[in-house]
Amino acid sequence: MPGCARMPAETRRSYTPDAFLLSGDLGIIDEDGNAAVDDVCVIGVPHDILGELVCACIGPVEGAGMTSGEIKDFARHAVAEYTTPSS
């Protein structure tokens, strides 16, 4: 299990028994949410310099016909600038 060797009790509280990180992050869909999005999964992808980057995989509602550009535009207005899609 990853963590800090000087704080083993905190490390144990931060992970499930199968080493899943309990970040406390929550995602919600409210009245300002994107009705074309059915599901989202955020994963880490390898990066040569930083070790890992975050990748959001977005599943559209069947038949919604949304484009990646529409998702990027929505994100630019809904989340912090440094977290918006770059490609």
At 4 the pLDDT is 52
34, 65 in Cβ contact below 8 A? no
Is pLDDT at 56 greater than 80 in this prediction?
yes
Rounded Cα–Cα distance for residues 53 and 83 (Å): 11
Q: Which residues pair with 43 in a beta bridge?
A: 55
32 has pLDDT over 70: no
Count how many domains the chain has. 1
- Span 70-83, pLDDT tens digits: 888 888 887 777 77
Query: 43 is in which domain, residue-wise?
Result: 26-83
Q: Say yes or no to pLDDT of 2 above 60.
A: no
Q: CATH no. for residue 39?
A: 3.30.300.30
Q: Give the pTM.
A: 0.52
Q: For residue 21, report the phi and psi dihedrals to the nearest 5 degrees.
A: -70, 125
- The pLDDT of 11-20, averaged and rounded, is 81
Report, as an integer, the average pLDDT of 24-39: 71
Residue 21 domain flag: no
pLDDT band of residue 67 (cuts 50, 70, 90) is confident
